[in-house]
Structure 1
Amino acid sequence: MPTIWTDVDPGAYLDAVTPAVRRRDADTLRDLMERVTGEPPRMFGASIVGFGEYHYEYASGRSGDAPAIAFAPRKAATTIYLPDGVGAHEERLAALGPHTTGVGCLYLKDLERVDLAVLEQILRTSWAAVTSGTFGQRARES
């Protein structure tokens, strides 16, 4: 079975992230996600830092493998990927602090302005849902 991971070194990738606030936030997220998952960071594609993996299979028959939890430090904001969808975390997101969302993405501009304990709860809940062995739906269905 082919791997979903690239050979890019996540440490080297994160060391080169700009601007400085994204690099700082990336270091914080790497440590937080590693603690939540017990998994080392690995690169999924050229710019997504992932932890663990899960297999999905949709009703359409489409299936594949993806990181169980991941983030990408982008110039405008850091993207946190929540495969179980942001809808599964509505109550906690209300207490998180400044953020925006997409269907399965949480966008944060500055981790110093959010409640990291709430973020950790969101990540733990998402990790548990996605790695339970029973998750297979799309984020928009959550």
Structure 2
Amino acid sequence: MIKRELIIFLIVGILTVAVDFATYSSLLWFECVGADLAKAIGFVTGTVFAYFANRFWTFGGRAHTSGSAARFILLYAFTLGANVWVNSILLKQFSLHSYAITLAFVFATAISAALNFLGMKFFVFKSPRSQEVA
């Protein structure tokens, strides 16, 4: 079961990252906002897609459980902070290199994706059995 969820999560993640990166890079390209705000906006845009795709596709369309939306918001607030923090540190670290934006984005995304999968699996979209035990 976890293997199937992980594979679908990765597909949803790729789509989510595409939305995030398109938003982030567009905001930077058009100089609409600074890098940190652009990263946050991109992340939040992807988050909206990720919630519905993961709820209905990755984790089997489980019935809405009380507090799942609040747990999702809490998880994504935490991983947003981690994402922007890692991105910011790496942009500063590699600022002299042409690949800085891409490298920072990829590493920040990898960290937040790992945290998101674990958080959604065991905190947000817990299986009914794990809720009974808890």
The structure that is helix-richer by fraction is 2
Greater radius of gyration (CA)? 2
Which is bigger in relative contact order (C-alpha 8 A, separation at least 6)?
2
The structure that is strand-richer by fraction is 1
Q: Could you state the TM-score of these two structures normalised by the residue count of structure 1?
A: 0.29
Q: Could you state the TM-score of these two structures normalised by the residue count of structure 2?
A: 0.30
